[in-house]
């Protein structure tokens, strides 16, 4: 606000009370009987904001009720003990829970000052029946001491307190049972009876120092102590011990010259600061030349030159920038300062601003100050309870994986590395920021997409039956999709996006990625650390040749590491384990059972819609077409040519859903048997390879039907000896994707608590061969590539069926 007020002073104005105004907007709004108010961050009550977020779950559900017996017991306790805190209510009313109290507060059945007391600290939250009762209680409980007592108490009658008696400053040096000893600046000491001292005070002849004078004196003492180093304090202690006997008068020897100087400094500090010890601090730091070496006008000119000519994208050196500044000074008639003075001025500039102007915002990010709190440094950035804030992010596992099907067939993977190696997997995590607990893990070969986002949320619902209140994500395109945002909106989840190129905003999950690399991934065989220096990698140390882990096994052990090992180890930021922090946080914030989510409800909402044509499809004679496949429902015969909404399951392409007759209906593919077990991604690869094959055969077709795809998957099981080179490439791509999907099935089976045996595929056996003569192979290739009649051009699979 201060910056934009400088740029547009007529538009933005700050009043004496600290509030901001916009006169042009106020004038325009008044024409329509409206008002315009500017609210800055300074007016935000951070305690109220935290309480609102704390109670938001109870505002989302209507008609939340507490059992009448529990409500009656709580109200009776609050009525009998006005101002009782939440912790005491829980202890006295055994049947009451934190959820019950939160509901009563959210529904205004009891009163809590949400602007001053944070509900996350129940021992400090006072509870009343109403706001009026709270105000009355505050007025009654104020302790009003007699005027005399308050005045005497206001003097702070202790040794060292300064008072004013008839315009002369005295200091209390002793407080006895019968008298008070006062010391004047000229070392004059007198004693006054307590009754006389009180009488003079009542008449106003003795007064205490004003708050301004006292605070000024205290600030001076604090300033001296703040500048004192540990060595200064040690020297002051030694000096005090050396002159202590002279100050107390317990020695008859005469002090030497140094001791007399220390005693004089002690007495002087007593008069100035009220603390003689302050005068014993050494003053070596005050030595030297303290005046500015160059005029203020020259300093401003130098700062402007550094800002404009040094801190720019040209990135000149300090030496060249100084030469330019020196010539500029000579032209303006100034004597230029030395190069070292200019260099020191450059070093004194803010480093973050310097890198930002000379290089880029991303390079300067590491020097940007870290913000531990929000809203005037009072609101924790990681929330106040479990499931308040969750972070979702993806990372690629630093480990090469192989196919478990190859292992189950008893094949030596060292001889078929190209076929068995599936590359690296992508890991998607959902982490609770308050407890640092990993809520859900998902692992797949597919790059980050809405599939992974939905699956990690689905796992969280399976484990806990709930989702975080706020989800923080990065700027990935998968988080901006309609499906993801619709799901969050349905469950009333707030989405917050981290700024680009600023990983500190996701420091919790980014930190966990680093810890997992050191403690888990980099300790596995086949890890890819060495690939950072790819030019130094030889065949003998290539991670691909040392891969032994499968997706299923890796997912099992990584889940054990996150859910059991990391979860039960003390976290340095928490001073306890994530599991302990989670259980303690749930006990303090309430279970909030009304926010539980049905797994069946979530699974259906998590199904995506096709991207094209707003997720709608027209019902034709063959059904609805989704991702190159037709799906059928018996009711389609009576809604022919209707345009309906559709959804599909990314992990089971034999099933789709269509919305008609006011509900979602399950549809099946007509080629259920042929397509069983094939994923959406596998279909896309098949479609691409078929188009390439057709191009090689000089055929053109634009529409890839479900029948052709189903037949393609059936023919792809043939032996490579009987296929053309184009078919060989198609089969290789399908095999690779199919192996990945088979590995993914094992992960899904673990999530569902099931066991799936590895499918035995003859095509994967390197020993399975077909003995065909050269003539037979040539004949089949000709039959495959050349149609027998012109009518066969429209259906290129007919020769394959006959063969």
Q: Which of 114-128, 212-226, 346-360 has the lowest mean pLDDT?
A: 212-226
- Residue 707, pLDDT > 80, answer no
Residue-wise pLDDT tens digits, 658-698: 999 988 898 988 766 666 666 555 554 554 444 444 444 44
- Residue 43, pLDDT > 60, answer yes
* Whether residue 755 is found in the same domain as residue 787: yes
* Whether residue 489 is found in the same domain as residue 572: yes
Higher pLDDT, 85 or 794: 85
Range of the domain at 181: 147-209
A 10 A CB-CB count for 633 gives 18
Q: b or e along 64-75 (b: 16 or more beta carbons within 10 Å of the residue's beta carbon)?
A: bebeeebbebbe
Q: How confident is the model at residue 768 (pLDDT cuts 50, 70, 90)?
A: very low
* Whether residue 405 is found in the same domain as residue 263: no
Mean pLDDT of 349-371: 75
Tell me whether residue 63 is in a domain.
yes
| pLDDT of amino acid 449 | 83
Q: Which of 202-216, 240-254, 491-505 has the lowest mean pLDDT?
A: 202-216
Last residue of a domain, one of 563, 591, 619: 591
| pLDDT of amino acid 609 | 76
Structure tokens at 385: 């309870």
| pLDDT of amino acid 98 | 92
Mean pLDDT of 530-543: 80
**H helical segments located in 155-229:** 194-202, 211-227
- Residue 523, pLDDT > 50, answer yes
Q: Please report, for the domain that includes residue 167, its CATH number.
A: 2.30.30.60
Last residue of a domain, one of 140, 169, 196: 140
Q: Which of 85-89, 311-315, 400-404 has the lowest mean pLDDT?
A: 400-404
Q: Which of 286-290, 755-759, 772-776 has the lowest mean pLDDT?
A: 772-776
Tell me whether residue 597 is in a domain.
no
Residue-wise pLDDT tens digits, 256-289: 999 899 999 888 887 777 778 888 888 877 777 6
- Residue 88, pLDDT > 90, answer yes
* Whether residue 12 is found in the same domain as residue 51: no
* Whether residue 16 is found in the same domain as residue 51: no
Residue-wise pLDDT tens digits, 377-427: 455 668 889 999 999 999 998 888 876 655 555 555 554 445 557 788 899
Q: How confident is the model at residue 85 (pLDDT cuts 50, 70, 90)?
A: very high
Tell me whether residue 236 is in a domain.
yes
- Residue 72, pLDDT > 70, answer yes
| pLDDT of amino acid 361 | 72
Q: Which of 295-299, 553-557, 603-607 has the lowest mean pLDDT?
A: 603-607
The count of domains in the chain is 8
Tell me whether residue 358 is in a domain.
yes
Tell me whether residue 675 is in a domain.
no
- Residue 470, pLDDT > 60, answer yes
- What 3-state DSSP class applies to 762? helix
* Whether residue 27 is found in the same domain as residue 62: no
339-347 vs 318-331: helix axis angle to the nearest 10? 120
Mean pLDDT of 563-569: 91
| pLDDT of amino acid 800 | 36
Residue-wise pLDDT tens digits, 433-457: 999 999 999 988 888 888 788 889 9
Number of Cα atoms under 13 Å in the Cβ half of residue 343: 7
A 10 A CB-CB count for 39 gives 9
Structure tokens at 24: 């042009």
Q: Which of 9-18, 490-499, 788-797 has the lowest mean pLDDT?
A: 788-797
- Give me the DSSP letters along 134-180: HHHHHHHTS----HHHHHHHHT--STT-EEEETTEEEEEEEE-SSEE
Q: How confident is the model at residue 765 (pLDDT cuts 50, 70, 90)?
A: very low
- Residue 167, pLDDT > 80, answer no
Q: Please report, for the domain that includes residue 334, its CATH number.
A: 1.10.10
Query: Phi and psi (nearest 5°) for 287?
Result: -75, 160
* Whether residue 191 is found in the same domain as residue 255: no
Tell me whether residue 586 is in a domain.
yes
Structure tokens at 575: 């001073």
* Whether residue 587 is found in the same domain as residue 499: yes
**H helical segments located in 370-466:** 404-408, 417-420, 450-464
* Whether residue 555 is found in the same domain as residue 632: no
SS (H, E, C) 549-611: EEHHHHHHHHHHHHHHHHHHCCECCCCECHHHHHHHHHHHHCCCHHHCCCHHHHHHHCCCCCC
Tell me whether residue 304 is in a domain.
yes
Mean pLDDT of 509-529: 87
Q: Please report, for the domain that includes residue 402, its CATH number.
A: 3.30.420.10
SS (H, E, C) 628-646: CEEEECHHHHHCCCCEEEE
* Whether residue 317 is found in the same domain as residue 418: no
| pLDDT of amino acid 558 | 92
- Residue 101, pLDDT > 90, answer yes
Structure tokens at 129: 């029946």
Q: Which of 16-20, 214-218, 403-407, 645-649 has the lowest mean pLDDT?
A: 214-218
Last residue of a domain, one of 556, 591, 626: 591
* Whether residue 566 is found in the same domain as residue 498: yes
A 10 A CB-CB count for 46 gives 17
Q: How confident is the model at residue 216 (pLDDT cuts 50, 70, 90)?
A: low
Which class for 391: exposed (0-12), middle (13-18), buried (19 or more C-beta within 10 A)? buried
Residues 6+ apart with CB under 8 A from 768: 719, 762
Tell me whether residue 195 is in a domain.
yes
Strand ranges, E, within 117-264: 126-127, 162-165, 168-175, 179-184, 189-193, 206-208
Q: Which of 483-487, 622-626, 647-651 has the lowest mean pLDDT?
A: 647-651
Q: How confident is the model at residue 352 (pLDDT cuts 50, 70, 90)?
A: confident
Closest CA to 106 of 64, 67, 139, 148: 64
* Mean pLDDT score of the chain: 77
* Whether residue 573 is found in the same domain as residue 657: no
| pLDDT of amino acid 469 | 93
**Please, are residues 357 and 311 in contact by the beta-carbon 8 Å criterion?**
yes
Percent of the chain with pLDDT over 70: 75
């Amino acid at each position: 606000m201060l910056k934009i007020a400088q740029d547009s002073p007529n538009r933005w104005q700050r009043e004496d009370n600290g509030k901001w105004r916009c006169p042009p907007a106020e004038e325009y709004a008044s024409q329509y009987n409206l008002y315009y108010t500017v609210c800055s961050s300074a007016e935000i009550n951070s305690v109220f904001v935290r309480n609102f977020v704390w109670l938001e779950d109870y505002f989302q559900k209507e008609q939340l009720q507490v059992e009448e017996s529990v409500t009656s017991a709580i109200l009776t306790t609050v009525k009998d003990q006005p101002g009782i805190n939440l912790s005491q209510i829980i202890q006295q009313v055994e049947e009451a829970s934190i959820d019950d109290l939160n509901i009563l507060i959210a529904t205004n059945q009891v009163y809590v000052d949400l602007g001053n007391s944070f509900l996350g600290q129940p021992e400090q939250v006072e509870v009343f029946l109403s706001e009026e009762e709270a105000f009355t209680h505050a007025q009654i409980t104020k302790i009003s001491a007699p005027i005399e007592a308050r005045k005497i108490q206001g003097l702070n009658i202790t040794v060292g307190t300064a008072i004013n008696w008839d315009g002369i400053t005295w200091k209390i040096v002793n407080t006895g049972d019968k008298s008070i000893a006062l010391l004047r600046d000229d070392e004059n000491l007198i004693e006054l009876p307590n009754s006389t001292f009180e009488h003079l005070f009542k008449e106003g002849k003795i007064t205490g120092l004003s708050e301004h004078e006292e605070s000024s004196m205290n600030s001076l003492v604090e300033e001296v102590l703040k500048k004192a180093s540990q060595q200064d304090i040690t020297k002051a202690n030694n000096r005090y011990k050396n002159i202590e006997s002279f100050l107390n008068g317990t020695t008859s020897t005469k002090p030497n010259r140094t001791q007399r100087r220390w005693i004089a400094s002690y007495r002087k500090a007593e008069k100035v600061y009220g603390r003689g010890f302050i005068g014993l601090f050494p003053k070596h730091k005050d030595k030297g030349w303290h005046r500015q070496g160059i005029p203020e006008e020259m300093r401003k000119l130098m700062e402007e030159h550094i800002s404009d000519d040094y801190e720019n994208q040209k990135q000149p050196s300090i030496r060249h920038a100084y030469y330019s500044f020196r010539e500029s000074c000579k032209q303006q008639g100034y004597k230029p300062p030395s190069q070292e003075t200019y260099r020191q001025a450059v070093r004194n500039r803010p480093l973050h601003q310097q890198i930002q102007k000379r290089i880029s915002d991303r390079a300067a990010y590491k020097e940007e100050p870290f913000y531990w709190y929000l809203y005037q440094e009072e609101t924790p950035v990681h929330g106040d309870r479990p499931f308040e804030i969750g972070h979702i992010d993806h990372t690629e596992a630093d480990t090469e994986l192989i196919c478990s099907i190859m292992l189950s067939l008893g094949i030596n993977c060292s001889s078929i590395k190209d076929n068995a190696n599936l590359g690296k997997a992508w890991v998607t995590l959902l982490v609770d920021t308050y407890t640092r607990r990993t809520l859900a893990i998902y692992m797949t070969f597919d790059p980050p997409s809405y599939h992974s986002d939905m699956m990690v949320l689905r796992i969280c619902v399976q484990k806990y039956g709930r989702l975080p209140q706020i989800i923080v994500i990065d700027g990935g395109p998968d988080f901006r999709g309609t499906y993801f945002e619709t799901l969050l909106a349905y469950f009333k989840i707030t989405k917050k996006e981290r700024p680009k190129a600023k990983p500190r905003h996701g420091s919790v999950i980014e930190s966990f990625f680093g810890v997992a690399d050191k403690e888990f991934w980099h300790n596995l065989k086949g890890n890819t650390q060495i690939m950072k220096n790819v030019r130094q990698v030889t065949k003998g140390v290539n991670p691909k040749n040392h891969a032994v882990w499968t997706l299923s096994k890796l997912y099992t052990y990584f889940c054990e590491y996150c859910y059991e090992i990391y979860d039960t180890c003390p976290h340095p930021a928490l001073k306890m384990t994530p599991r302990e922090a989670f259980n303690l946080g749930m006990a303090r914030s309430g279970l909030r059972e009304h926010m539980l989510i049905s797994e069946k409800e979530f699974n259906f909402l998590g199904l995506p819609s096709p991207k094209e044509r707003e997720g709608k499809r027209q019902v034709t004679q063959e059904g609805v077409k989704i991702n190159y496949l037709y799906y059928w429902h018996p009711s389609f015969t009576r809604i022919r040519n209707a345009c309906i909404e559709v959804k599909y399951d990314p992990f089971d392409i034999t099933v789709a859903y269509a919305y008609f007759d006011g509900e979602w209906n399950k549809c099946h593919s007509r080629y259920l048997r042929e397509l069983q077990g094939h994923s959406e991604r596998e279909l896309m690869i098949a479609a691409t390879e078929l188009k390439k094959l057709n191009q090689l055969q000089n055929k053109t077709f634009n529409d890839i039907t479900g029948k052709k795809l189903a037949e393609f998957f059936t023919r792809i099981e043939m032996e490579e000896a009987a296929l053309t080179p184009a078919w060989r490439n198609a089969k290789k791509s399908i095999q690779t994707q199919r192996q990945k999907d088979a590995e993914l099935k094992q992960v899904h089976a673990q999530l569902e608590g099931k066991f799936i045996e590895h499918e035995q595929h003859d095509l994967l056996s390197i020993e399975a061969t077909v003995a065909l003569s050269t003539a037979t192979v040539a004949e089949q290739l000709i039959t495959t590539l050349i149609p027998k009649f012109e009518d066969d051009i429209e259906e290129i699979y007919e020769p394959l069926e006959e063969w």
